[in-house]
Amino acid sequence: MRNGAPKSALFDAHASVAQALGSGRRAEIVDLLAQAERSVEEIATEISQSVANTSQHLQVLARAGLVRSRRDGTRVYYRLASDRVAELWAAVRDVAVRHVAEVSVLADEYLGDRRGVEPLSSEELSERLARGDVVLLDVRPEPEFLAGHIAGARSTPLEALDELAGKLPKSREIVAYCRGPYCVYADDAVRLLRARGLKARRLDVGYPEWRRAGLPVEIAS
């Protein structure tokens, strides 16, 4: 019989990836980096943690091979090691939705009343963009839009949407999207637009899912 130690070590190495994601803050970092590369300071602000705590979380992710870093002057920037990491996070999220009852309850508490926030599928959005009968708004922060966005989208960070709303056409439906299915920006955008008398829906996924599906994307020049 073979020595069990190498087998145990192999499975421990596999499990180290899951262990690295075994923190809500680290999962949140992976979700954020699926959008674009960000500095440690930017990540800390987004996840409401100190720079020191954020650095510790990033080191755990780096040791598991899930993120890579580069230095630019005094700042350190992090990115996902590959698209497979984003796919892993999406799979973990989907399993949680299907098998952890608490997730749906917590999502409702976080996102609020979604009865007036009607989703639109990627397939339908792709068809409507081809016909030119929809206005597409990317309501993520501008750095994420610049790093990559759905082709034909207009950068409209949520804080700028109220000013823009009066200039949008009432004859066409507005579709908002952000980081993913649990990103509150798109929901808030739809609520604001509907309150202004506009027809609005949200994409049922975010930019990372759209890109991984092989649908058209652009990078700002």
The residues assigned a catalytic role are 178
Angle, helices 51-63/24-33, rounded to nearest 10 degrees: 80
Q: Which long-range contacts (CB under 8 A, 24 or more apart) does 87-94 make?
A: 87/212, 88/17, 88/21, 89/21, 89/27, 89/30, 89/31, 89/34, 90/208, 90/209, 90/212, 92/21, 92/27, 93/182
Residue carrying the six token digits 């700002």: 220
| Secondary structure E strands in the chain | 38-39, 67-72, 75-80, 119-120, 134-138, 149-150, 154-155, 173-177, 200-203, 217-218
